Amino acid sequence: MPTQYPPLEPLRTTYRLRFLTDKQLDDLQSATLEIMKKTGVRFPSKKCLTIFADHGAQVDWESQIVRLKPDLVFKALATVPRYFMMGARNPDYDLQLEEGVTYFTTDGCGVETIDFDTRERRPSRKADVGMMAKISDYLPSIGFVWPMVSAQDHGVSAPLHEIDACWNNSVKHVQSETVMGEIPCRYAVEMATVIAGSREELRRRPQFSLVVCTIAPLVQDTAGIEGALVLAEAGLPVGFLAMPTLGTTAPATMAGAFAMGDAEIISAAVLMQLYAPGAPVFHSLMQAWADPRTGGYVSYSLDSRTRYAPVEMAHHWGMPSLGACYGTDSHEAGTWQGAAEVALDPYMAGLVGADIVTGMGLSETYTLLYPEQVIMDNDLYQRARYQLMNLEVNEETLALDTVHAVGPGGHYLGQRHTRNHIRESLVRGITHQIGEDGKYRDPREVAIEKIDWIRKNHIPEPLENEKQTELRRILVAADKEICKG
Amino acid sequence: MNNVESETPALQPIIPAYHIRILEDEQLDQLQSATLEILEQVGIHCPSEKALHIYAEHGGLVDFSRQVVRLPRQIVLEAMSHAPRFYTMGARQPSFDLKLDGKALYCATDGCGVETIDFKTRQRRPSKKEDVATMARVSDYLSALSFYWPIVSAQDFPKTAPLHEIDASFNNTIKHVQSETVMGEWTARYAIEMADVVAGNEQVRRQRPPLSLLICSIAPLAQDRDGLESALLFAEAGLPVGFMSMVNTGSTAPATIAGTLVTGDAEIISALVLIQMAFPGAPVYHSLLPGVMHPHTGDYLGSTLEGSQLYPVATEIAHQWGVPTLAGIFGTDAMVPGWQSAAEAESSLLLCALTGAETGSGLGLVESCMLLYPESIMLDADVYHRIRIESSRLDTSPEAMALDVIKEVGPRGHYLAHRHTRINLRRRQFSDLTGQPRQGGGYRDPLEVAREKVDWILENHHPQPLEKAQKEELTRILNAADREKGH
């Protein structure tokens, strides 16, 4: 019997914070337009260059650099939908993007796992993807599923096995961040069609979407961008993620890194609209730092404004945004650093109005899976969710009659009003669980226990047998074709 | 040992570029009306003859036998109209004065803990005066800390501990000192005398008061006699005085948030009204720190999932009354510094800043403000700076936009060799606790780095001392107080 599912708990809020002024947003947009017009973006794909050339862009075939005039950019982006639907296996979990609602997912795509049973560190595999999809399926904070780690036991067709593991363990929308190239993307669309039942239904309620990374500075990845065209043609949402690093692959100032990363994203979004007008696309910019001493990639400095300003840039273009939360640089779950770096993230994502957000659950800068980390990140998420709710001020909550009845110096323990409300008054996270000794338990220990509970007790609504069989058939074919390739 | 005097680093208050409103005007009006109704119809228990007489002389409805005062709406509003919205809390040096002008949030340590993890042995033990002094020196060095609360109790001076805490503070930091333990007229008179020594004269004491006081009310709806009477003396001397309510849902307040807020607000406002009746225009502040009761233990929890919204809401309530606030920040329920202490702190601090809180206290303790881990203050300061930067405006100037640099590097290049990179990478702000390479590879534990930094500060930072005459005068006052109390 599948477990009774709790309803989703996205961030919903009427509060809104504007980080960037209108002028700053205009200045950033102008800078992006200038970069696309004068410097250009390299598209190492004949197919993409041809699409651009057909629509009047200035293409340098030798350097593979495309330069886009502002009027072409705006004309192409005019067909971008501001909101769209991300469908799910179970329609109750469809995500209709809309103002004031933010849906979260896990992080990805890690390469190592702290084993669920032995607690040994080892390379990640398909079973880990399935297990974490099952855990994501259970958690109401998670609106859609990212394969959290790589299915490294399946070689070059790992990305397809990752989405297979997700659909077999969760009824929620699946978003891949690893499927790359035209052929793998065609297989992924075929798998999504199996889940949806038909191409038409898939286009209406896309149960699969894709994130494609750009290459800083100002380059697209051949396989990534050609794969994205496949999804756009099928009407599946596709997002472009720029990860400029201050001082190495981007200027050492944030505004410069933003404008440059934005140019990478917008140039790709323009291509999608030229190829398939109206295709659902989303914008994602996750800027990082180079450690000045080592050149190492630093996900969190003291300055995390960069996490949220790009959300406003996306909205300024009229596109939804995939916001970036979590992904601590800490090497272990449950450390001070693991909270100090990320604790504010979900709150800020809600406040700035990100549409969808990644990613709970990984350590070591998105590379290492501690199973309990997702529960700890979930606790931070729930704090944000409550903080973003409106406070109830009415006759019942003001309780003036009760205050009169108790008067100065009394206590409220025996009041009916207290009995009626005491259960809801404390929303207990993992930090306020009492142990047998009467003291509060270590939150990490509680998180590990909760993961074990979900593993043992949550039974996701199973995928129909014939669909399972069909997915397996597609995987066999893909393994054969991709491995051969 | 002769220590070389060192300069105290400049303060770095949180100056938010953004602001947010949590409660709507209508909700704030509803809450204020409820507070007024409680003050008028239920009243406040006030076990001080002196205070009751002040209330009675200014229109309060006093039941002397029950020691309960009820305050008609107009009386409250009239008294509160005298409370200043903005004023200055002074420091030994004017550049460390705190101008409470609504533009910046100034933060202090937590207090008043009762146990310390010993700086050298790492054993847990009762706190003592030396701990107050040591942490005052650490706080003097940290730019995150704008003023100092004696962080633990000087329990080796049981009868005059609050005065010894002030002495240890004044001798080890040039920053403003706020006591949260001075109670009763007797102690207050000595404390004011000590403030006079630091200020030098009455005019400075009133214009740039180096000492302020925080008094806790007793929930529900009661005042502490000693607290009120010491507050009256401080107000008379022109020293800022604030009232804090720590109402707890379900035990000392209704089990709903709004009811808890108005119960605590009524306690605070009744005391602020008293101060304004007695000394119109005296600098006061409002501090509402509601907790959520754990239904199994009855514990006051300051950092529950929904509870962290309450401190910023309290800031808005204070401003609705036209007075500054001391906001609740940090003050983790965690047993040790770690994931929980960071998890609980951040969004509440940011929201307090964005709602315009003027002051806040609570860096450096764990176990719900009871236990001092020396390294906690470094961890909390790191979190503080994250929030400080978070709430500042992004630079989008032409230099920051770097368009010429982007054009120059073009697609597929890199920025490592560019002059713009060399200049600007140094300006980026990294944590000095995280990402510290360990010899032999990997990274050091930030807690270990934090402990090391505390040791470094204690070894190297020696703030400007009080003048010899001031030191001697403080000692004379303390000796007199100790003699009088038979220490």
| Structural domains of chain A, ranges and CATH numbers in brackets | 11-17+79-387 (3.20.20.480)
CB contact under 8 A, A398 and B30: yes
Which of B339, B385, B399 has its CB closest to that of A302? B385
For residues A306 and A26, what is the distance between their CA atoms, to the nearest angstrom? Answer: 17
User: CATH number for the domain including B207?
Assistant: 3.20.20.480
Torsion angles phi and psi, residue B194, rounded to 5: -65, -40
Cβ-Cβ contacts under 8 Å for B389 (sequence gap 6 or more): A302, A303, A304, A305, B429
Using the Cβ of A48 and the Cβ atoms of chain B, whether some distance falls under 8 Å is answered with: no
Helices A222-234 and A182-196, packing angle to 10 deg: 30
Instruction: Say whether both B215 and B316 belong to one domain.
Output: yes
Instruction: Say whether both B268 and B320 belong to one domain.
Output: yes
For residues B429 and A300, what is the distance between their CA atoms, to the nearest angstrom? Answer: 10
Please say if the pLDDT value at position B427 is more than 90. Answer: no
pLDDT in tens, B290-343: 988 888 888 888 777 766 788 999 999 999 999 999 999 998 889 999 999 999
Q: Please give, rounded to a whole number of angstroms, the shortest distance from the CA of B209 to a CA of chain A.
A: 34
Using the Cβ of A451 and the Cβ atoms of chain B, whether some distance falls under 8 Å is answered with: no
Instruction: Say whether both B322 and B401 belong to one domain.
Output: no
Using the Cβ of A250 and the Cβ atoms of chain B, whether some distance falls under 8 Å is answered with: yes
- Partners of residue B399 in chain A, C-beta under 8 Å: 253
B411, B428, B445: which is the final residue of a domain?
B428
Using the Cβ of A469 and the Cβ atoms of chain B, whether some distance falls under 8 Å is answered with: no
Instruction: Say whether both B277 and B401 belong to one domain.
Output: no
What per-residue confidence (pLDDT) applies to A485?
57
What per-residue confidence (pLDDT) applies to A428?
81
Which of B293, B345, B385 has its CB closest to that of A426? B293
Q: Between A and B, how many CB-CB pairs are < 8 A?
A: 370
What per-residue confidence (pLDDT) applies to B308?
72
For an interface test with B, which of A34, A294, A335, A412 has the most B Cβ atoms less than 10 Å from its Cβ? A412
Instruction: Say whether both B301 and B401 belong to one domain.
Output: no
CB contact under 8 A, A412 and B338: no
Using the Cβ of A397 and the Cβ atoms of chain B, whether some distance falls under 8 Å is answered with: yes
Using the Cβ of A405 and the Cβ atoms of chain B, whether some distance falls under 8 Å is answered with: no
B408, B428, B448: which is the final residue of a domain?
B428
Low-confidence ranges of chain A (pLDDT < 70): 1-2, 485
Q: Are strands B284-288 and A208-213 parallel, antiparallel or unpaired?
A: unpaired
The mean pLDDT of chain B is 95
B486 burial level (CB within 10 Å; 0-12, 13-18, 19+): exposed
Which of B347, B413, B442 has its CB closest to that of A384? B347
pLDDT in tens, B77-89: 999 999 999 999 9
What per-residue confidence (pLDDT) applies to B293?
86
Q: Which domain holds residue B416?
A: 397-428
Task: Single out the residue of B483, B476, B485, B484 nearest to residue B167, CA to CA.
Answer: B476
b/e code B5-34 from CB counts within 10 Å (16+ = b): eeebeebbbbebeeebebbeeebbebbbeb
Instruction: Say whether both B67 and B182 belong to one domain.
Output: yes
For residues A275 and A226, what is the distance between their CA atoms, to the nearest angstrom? Answer: 11
- Supply the DSSP symbol for A289: E
Instruction: Say whether both B383 and B421 belong to one domain.
Output: no
Task: List alpha helices for B247-359, DSSP H.
Answer: 257-278, 310-320, 339-354
For residues A183 and A181, what is the distance between their CA atoms, to the nearest angstrom? Answer: 6
Q: How many domains does chain B have?
A: 2
CB contact under 8 A, A248 and B414: yes
Residue A256: closest C-alpha in chain B: B401
What per-residue confidence (pLDDT) applies to B2?
54
Cβ-Cβ contacts under 8 Å for A9 (sequence gap 6 or more): A140, A141, A382, A385
Using the Cβ of A1 and the Cβ atoms of chain B, whether some distance falls under 8 Å is answered with: no
pLDDT in tens, B398-420: 999 999 999 999 999 899 999 99
Instruction: Say whether both B325 and B286 belong to one domain.
Output: yes
Sheet holding B248-249, edge to edge: B248-249, B291-293, B300-301
For residues B416 and B429, what is the distance between their CA atoms, to the nearest angstrom? Answer: 18
Instruction: Say whether both B348 and B422 belong to one domain.
Output: no
Copy the structure tokens of residue A34.
């200038």
Q: Please give, rounded to a whole number of angstroms, the shortest distance from the CA of B134 to a CA of chain A.
A: 24
CB contact under 8 A, A408 and B305: no
Please tell me whether the overall predicted TM-score, pTM, comes out greater than 0.90 for this model. Answer: yes
For residues A366 and A345, what is the distance between their CA atoms, to the nearest angstrom? Answer: 15
Instruction: Say whether both B461 and B416 belong to one domain.
Output: no
- Supply the DSSP symbol for B364: S
pLDDT confidence bin for B3, thresholds 50/70/90: confident
Which of A335, A399, A432 has its CB closest to that of B259? A399
Using the Cβ of A298 and the Cβ atoms of chain B, whether some distance falls under 8 Å is answered with: yes
Residue A329: closest C-alpha in chain B: B435
Task: Single out the residue of B268, B253, B358, B269 nearest to residue B307, CA to CA.
Answer: B253
ipTM of this predicted structure: 0.93
Distances from the Cα of B80 to the Cα of B56, B132, B274, angstroms: 16, 35, 9
Residue B248: closest C-alpha in chain A: A412
Task: Single out the residue of A469, A382, A456 nearest to residue A134, CA to CA.
Answer: A456
Instruction: Say whether both B45 and B69 belong to one domain.
Output: yes
Residue B299: closest C-alpha in chain A: A432
Is residue B212 within a helix (H) or strand (E), and if so which, with residue range?
A: strand B211-216
pLDDT in tens, A120-154: 999 999 999 999 999 999 999 999 999 999 999 99
User: Is-contact A277 A271, C-beta < 8 A?
Assistant: no
What per-residue confidence (pLDDT) applies to A320?
98
- Supply the DSSP symbol for A439: S
Please say if the pLDDT value at position B486 is more than 80. Answer: no
Task: Single out the residue of B269, B264, B271, B254 nearest to residue B290, CA to CA.
Answer: B264
CB contact under 8 A, B305 and A386: yes
Which of A343, A383, A423 has its CB closest to that of B305? A383
Instruction: Say whether both B410 and B354 belong to one domain.
Output: no
